[in-house]
Amino acid sequence: MSEGNRVDQLLEAIHQARARVYQIGNATPLESMVIEGVDQSIWVKREDLGPIKAYKWRGAFNAMACLTPAQLEGGVVAASAGNHAQGIALAARKLGTKAYIYMPKPTPLVKRKAVMAHGGDCVSIELIGDSFSEAQTAALEHAMQTGATFIPPYDSIDVMAGQGTLADEIFTSGEGPFDRVYVAVGGGGMASAVAALLKSSWPKVKVIGVEGVDQASMKAAIESGEPVPLDYVDVFCDGTAVTQVGKLTYAFCRDLLDEIVTVTNGEVSSAIKSHWDGLRVIPEPSGAMSLAGFLKHHEAGEIKPNEKVLTILCGANMDFAKFADVSRQAGINPQRDRSWRFKIPEEKGSLAELLTDLPAGVSIMDLQYGRTMKEPQRPLLSVDVPNLVSADFEKWIARNEKSAEDVTGHGATRFRVIPFTPSLFASPLFVEVEFPERAGALLGFMNAISSITSLCYFNYTYTGERVGRALIGLDFENDEELMSHRSKIFEQAGKTVRAVKEVLIDSLL
């Protein structure tokens, strides 16, 4: 299909979508924002004010509203790590169909609860795998086996058309025309529709896609000439963490986007702060990506003083725990968070053994350990204990009564003081381990290496992301043993966790 025919088809579909999407949601406003140090006219499209606090309801509902009565009777199936699932759930309840939603196991509980709140009895959630791609594979298999209709998160004209109604609202707002529009790119559905409609309305507008540095799947596709899978996808901006873009969205973005700018997690975090300072709103990381792209261009001097800029705040569904240090000091759940210091022998596998015995359902929020002169060793473990498993946890504590000390609220706990004695380290190897944020994911790696090496340092805290990161010190008897077992460590990592990187901290030893 030629570019002209493809764009015309999408524009017509967007016009048709107008008659559907407002059955479950209202148009969202545009607001002007002032940023300190930026002498620029900046407008923000507030998709966080939609019915699911993100734009995804538009595409999900439009695609499902296009189904025949027979298709609705047969149900729908989707894969999502959050916002698309909420849109599917909202649409399922409105249209009276059953939705089967496959989500990665590490999906934050806050997003799973939101899906059930929107869909109620019309929704069934299945947790599959550690990534979106695994969940999508399972969803497609479900569709093939049951005949349920698969609703893709982005690579569909009907889905893109629904997302395009937000661009229609921008055009009819009376605040345009805009010189530059920045839009976050995950799978590319919203970017495709926004670029198609706004360029047809304002031919001189520049539409710039924004991707994370370590999740730039659209940039990779355009550079390769076709959609290609990324070997690694960072999930700090989890709403845009897509391994491979769609064929349709690739074609639209290739032809319509004027540029793709990539931003770091630090730049996204700065943009979140700018939203708070300017509008008193806190977007999720992917929701702040478009502003991060503008700020990067502004800092580089690429914006003309008289240019009128629009950014799209595309979502605000963020787990409070993701506020890192702030959330840890405030307490993720002050009524349930408990911290304990345990006595364990200084021997291979002792820490892994302690964690293996932890009752199912108890979430590790923080783990601190450094080898010291004192014997036995005393790791510090902070946990979140849901009411449903509190009795099991108390029994576990009772079994470990002689070795457990309650240190909830102590200074060493709150400020993460991790003592260690470097002179006790023979030949240490420090690694940063990245693993799916779910029960048992890191424990598999620890058990696999317990016979190879002993732990001399451990530093982990929960951040609210779909992946966890820990700094682990592995100690060997001498340099020869380290070199002989080094390859085994990374081999086991490849089998059990997402990634392992060596960390050089010689200055501390």
Q: Which of 242, 247, 208 is nearest to 224 (CA)?
A: 247
Domains and CATH numbers, the chain: 3-54+157-317 (3.40.50.1100), 57-150 (3.40.50.1100), 325-508 (3.40.1020.10)
DSSP annotation string for 135-155: HHHHHHHHHHHH-PEE--SSS
Number of H helices, E strands in the chain: 18, 18
Q: Nearest-CA neighbor of 14 among 230, 185, 244, 201?
A: 201
Residue 207 CA to residue 217 CA, distance in Å, equals 18
Supply the pLDDT for residue 85.
95
Residues of the chain with pLDDT under 70: 1-4, 324-336, 374, 414, 506-509
Tell me what pLDDT residue 506 has. Answer: 65
What pTM value is reported for the model? Answer: 0.76
Please list the residues that pair with 79 across neighbouring strands.
102
Q: How many C-beta atoms surround the C-beta of residue 169 within 10 A?
A: 17
pLDDT score, position 34: 92
> For position 99, what pLDDT does the model report?
96
Give the DSSP H or E segment for 59.
helix 57-65
Residue 82 CB contacts under 8 Å (≥ 6 apart), including other chains: 103, 107, 108, 111, 238, 239, 317
Q: What per-residue confidence (pLDDT) applies to 324?
A: 57
Would you give the distance in Å from CA 141 to the centre of its chain?
A: 24
Q: How many CB atoms lie within 10 A of CB 132?
A: 27
Beta bridge partners of 206: 180
Q: Please state, in angstroms and rounded to a whole number, the distance separating the CA atoms of residues 183 and 258.
A: 11
For residue 218, the SS3 value is helix
At 484, the amino acid letter reads S
Residue in the block written with tokens 């931003």: 263
What value does the CA radius of gyration of the chain take, rounded to a whole number of Å?
25
